[in-house]
Each structure stands twice: as C-alpha cells, then as structure tokens.
Amino acid sequence: MPGRILIADDRFASRLMLSALFSGAYYDILQADRATDVLATVRTDRPGAVVISDGLAAPGAGGLCEALRSSADCAHILRIVVTDRDDPDRTALLIDAGADDVISRSSSDAEMLARVRRLFEHRARISDLSMQGVGGLYPDGMAEAAGGFTRAARVAIVSDTVAATDWASAIRRALRGAVVEVQEPSETLPSTADVVILDCDSLGERKTLHLTARAMRATGKTGPEVLIAGASPNPTVVVQALDVGAGGVLRLPLHPQETAARINLLNRRRQNVVKLRDSLRDGLQSAMTDPLTGLFNRRYALPRVEKMVSGVRTNGQPVTLMMCDLDHFKWVNDTFGHPAGDEVLKNIATVLRDAVANCGFAARVGGEEFLIALPACGQLAASSIARRIRKSVGDLITPYPAAPEGLNVTISIGFVTIDAETILPTDPAEAATHMLTRADRALYSAKAAGRDCVMSDSRQQPFEVTSRIRSAADRDRFHDQLAG
C-alpha cells in the first residue's frame, strides 16, 4: 500500500518517535522490533516503504536492505535507513547495500518527511510509466536495475568555489569511468549531465531552487537528477528543493564515497526512467505504425481523419483525403514471392511519406492500399500532389535479384476535398466515414478508367488516363489540360 510505512526498529522509544512523525504526516504505520519479522510483514501487509533503524540487530540495516532487494516479492518496497551516525562511509555502504536513502536522525522532521515524500513521488512516477503499457521493464527495486547495465554517470558540479576542482578529482577517483566536470553558475543547467550537484553556498538559495525546478521541467527529455550540497544548508531551502524535485542532500566539503554512492543511486534511477520512457515511446510508435513500411496504420489514421474533418467547420480550411491502391500488385507476389512485394511496398511508402511530409500524413490501411490525409489542402493543390505521387510511383524501379530489370508497379488514386460549405453528418465519426466512402468511390472510378490514374469524386473523367496517352510528354500535357 503506497501510504503505508513499516517502522523496523528494536528500540521502543525510537520506534515510537518515528511512528509519531510519519503518522502525523498521515501515513498508515506498521511496526516491527526484529529484522526477522520484516520480510513476513512486508509480504502480508504490503507497505510502500520500510524505515529501518541503523541500530537494528543482526542482520542489521545493510543486511535487511540486501534481503529486501533480493526478494522478488519485496524488492519494490522503498528501503529507507535512519541512522544516528554521522559517517559518510557508512552511508555509502548502506546505499550500496540497497538503501534508497540514508537519513540522519539529526535532520529536521520536515527534511525527513520531504525526503520520504520525494521517494514516494519517484515510485509513483515509475508506476505511472509502467501502467501505460510497459510494465515489467523496470526492475522491482528502485535502487538498482538488477542484472542490467547502467552506463557511468556524467556529473556536473555547478559552483564557483575553487575547492570544486578538488571535489571533482576525488569523485572521479571514486567513480571509475564517470565524467565529472565543474561548471560556473549560469541560468541554465548542463545539457548533457545525468546528475548535477548544486553548490547551494556559492549559488545562493534562490538560484539553487530555480535550477532545481528547471531540471524537473525539462521538456522533451528526462532532465538531470539534482543533489543539493551545502556546508550547513538552510533547512527550509532543503525542504523546498526536495519538494521541487531534488534527489538528495550532501554536506560540504563533499565526501567522495558518499557522493559517489548517491550519484550512482540517482544515475540508476534516472536511467531506469529513461528506459521506461523510451520503451513507452517505442510501444506507442509500434501501436501507431505499420511495421513493414513505417507509415501510420489504420488505428492512428482514422481518429486523425475524424479530427481533421471536424476541424473544417471551425477553422474553415479544406481537407483532402486520398485513397491509393497499387495496380496488379498481386502479380508481384505471385511471380516473385512476398519478399519481393515487401520491398516494393517499402519503396512506395518512402515515396508517399516524402510527398506529404510537409502537408499531411500517409498511412497503410490494407495490403497494398494507402490513405493520404491533407489538411488545409484544396482540390487544385490535391490534384497536383496526387499527380506527383502517381508519376513518382510509376517511375520507381525496385531492384530485386530475381528480376533483372527491377520491379515496377503503378498506382491508382481517388480523392475527395471538402470545405466549410460541404454538408456532412454532425457526428465526427460519421462525417469521416462519409468522406472516406467518397474517396473510395473515386478510387474505384480510377480503377475502372484503366488504372494508373488520378480521379476526384467531383469529376466525371480521370485527371490522368495512361491508356489514352502515348508518351510521358503527352501524359503531362493531357493532365495540364484537365487541371487547367
């Protein structure tokens, strides 16, 4: 349960204080006074997090983190260690053992709650991405991608302190393979960094919060993770930075081992988010596109057509739909096999995509049938585009080993153009269906007129009929006469 926290502490007074703190923040609280009870309680009561005292008896906080992380049914639970020690090496050890955060008991209640809140927010982000169709790609633990590869972090220390160069050198030694650079303060964050350390002492509180917020608002990509660093940072600013999106807090001067452990933790966290987002994008792309040609598929095209047709009434711009069908394409498959036909389809898809790249989109809606949608496109412009497509397809030669002269097919195109004066059904789906039917009817007319031609549903004769033309020059003159 996301809002439930298990307190694992063998000291009654400490357990009581932590329970009071988190219950006061409206978490449901469970308690365990022995490490051996934790796994059983996690499995039965499903808390969202386990807050572990660093003084817990054997196997201790580190051993319990490792046990939770390695258990398939417990690995997704947040693991938070609360410690009395001010020992950066111990903190690094606990993070490496699987802790999602290590928080000193000397931290203010507000900071402790903010750090726990930040972890819950990150896990909710992961859950949202997973529920959108890519569940199972993210490992069950938040702290580590089990069995996966995470590349070395790219780290930027934003500071104008001379000592920052020494910090960077120490972190490079602790983080083998990592790229660690010092950058002077500016209004923007380093564009290539995975993790940014903001020196709150040199930046000032306002700029620290501004840059932290900017990282969280990175558009079109996953922004860097942020660590706030300061000798004695203002507790209020620390809480604000965590609530804005900072992933952790460091004390200056930076301790190499703890800093390296926290950088690794945040880098793994960031890379897992990137992986989920990329997988989600790829999944959505696959759902919208035809795997052979890379064109959009029917699932994507039809709702887009509905939206375009609905927009005609509001924006007054005409819309053209084209139905295109390859002529005698079955002959290619029957003669040379489906691999040959696939090569032809891929090449023709490239022609269609290029032809409408700046004015609409093309979709494969059947075996050798394509739909082209052109918003803000009137009949004359549509006829010109259709002519170019018909000619480009007719001139296209697809190389194939079994066909020395290459493979060549022609295309028939039927199109319909509507504008604000066109009477259509008020329901968007019905209006789109009506328009597609008219385009289909024009396509049938093009087929009946001899194929390899363009036909509008508003004309009684084809724009181009090759059976009546003896040469390419005659064909172009014939079209110019019809279009003019």
| Residue 334 shares a structural domain with residue 270 | no
Q: Does residue 102 form part of some domain?
A: yes
Tell me what percent of the chain is helix, strand and coil, each rounded to the nearest 5.
Answer: 50, 20, 30
| Residue 352 shares a structural domain with residue 410 | yes
| Residue 401 shares a structural domain with residue 364 | yes
Torsion of CA 284, 290, 294, 295, to 10 degrees: -100
| Residue 327 shares a structural domain with residue 387 | yes
Letter string b/e over residues 211-221, b meaning 16 or more CB atoms within 10 A of that residue's CB: bbebbeeeeee
- Choose among 366, 363, 359, 373: nearest CA to 432: 373
Q: What is d(CA 82, CA 56) in angstroms, rounded to the nearest whole number?
A: 10
Q: Does residue 77 form part of some domain?
A: yes
Domain of 38 in residue numbering reads as: 1-106
Query: Is residue 1 pLDDT above 90, yes or no?
Result: no
| Residue 397 shares a structural domain with residue 476 | yes
| Residue 324 shares a structural domain with residue 408 | yes
- What integer is the mean pLDDT of 157-176? 93
HSE-up of residue 379 (Cα within 13 Å, Cβ side) = 15
| Residue 317 shares a structural domain with residue 465 | yes
HSE-up of residue 98 (Cα within 13 Å, Cβ side) = 25
Pull the structure tokens for residue 206: 């306002």
| Residue 318 shares a structural domain with residue 437 | yes
How many separate domains does the chain show?
A: 3
Query: Is residue 136 pLDDT above 50, yes or no?
Result: no
Last residue of some domain: 60, 91, 106?
A: 106
Task: Print the SS3 string covering 427-473.
Answer: CHHHHHHHHHHHHHHHHHHHHHCCCCCEEECCCCCCCCCHHHCCCHH
- Backbone region of residue 220 per phi and psi (left: phi > 0; alpha: psi in -120 to 50; beta: other values): left
Q: Does residue 98 form part of some domain?
A: yes
| Residue 398 shares a structural domain with residue 464 | yes
- What integer is the mean pLDDT of 381-405? 95
Q: Does residue 112 form part of some domain?
A: no
Contact assessment for residue 196 and residue 233, using Cβ atoms and an 8 Å cutoff: no
Q: Does residue 121 form part of some domain?
A: no
Q: Does residue 190 form part of some domain?
A: yes
| Residue 56 shares a structural domain with residue 203 | no
Task: Express each pLDDT in 86-109 by its tens digit.
Answer: 899 999 999 999 999 999 999 999
Last residue of some domain: 281, 311, 337?
A: 281
Secondary structure letter of residue 231 according to DSSP: S
| Residue 164 shares a structural domain with residue 230 | yes
CATH classification of the domain holding 207: 3.40.50.2300
Task: Express each pLDDT in 231-289 by its tens digit.
Answer: 998 999 999 999 999 999 999 999 999 999 999 999 999 988 888 888 877 777 888 99
Query: Is residue 18 pLDDT above 80, yes or no?
Result: yes
User: pLDDT above 70 covers what percent of the chain?
Assistant: 89
Grouping H, G, I as helix, E, B as strand and the rest as coil, residue 41 is helix
| Residue 258 shares a structural domain with residue 303 | no
Q: Does residue 130 form part of some domain?
A: no
CATH classification of the domain holding 404: 3.30.70.270
Contact assessment for residue 88 and residue 248, using Cβ atoms and an 8 Å cutoff: no
- Choose among 243, 258, 160, 169: nearest CA to 201: 160
pTM over 0.85: no
Task: Express each pLDDT in 340-372 by its tens digit.
Answer: 999 999 999 999 999 999 899 999 999 999 999
Q: Does residue 132 form part of some domain?
A: no
Strand partners for 374: 320
Last residue of some domain: 46, 81, 106?
A: 106
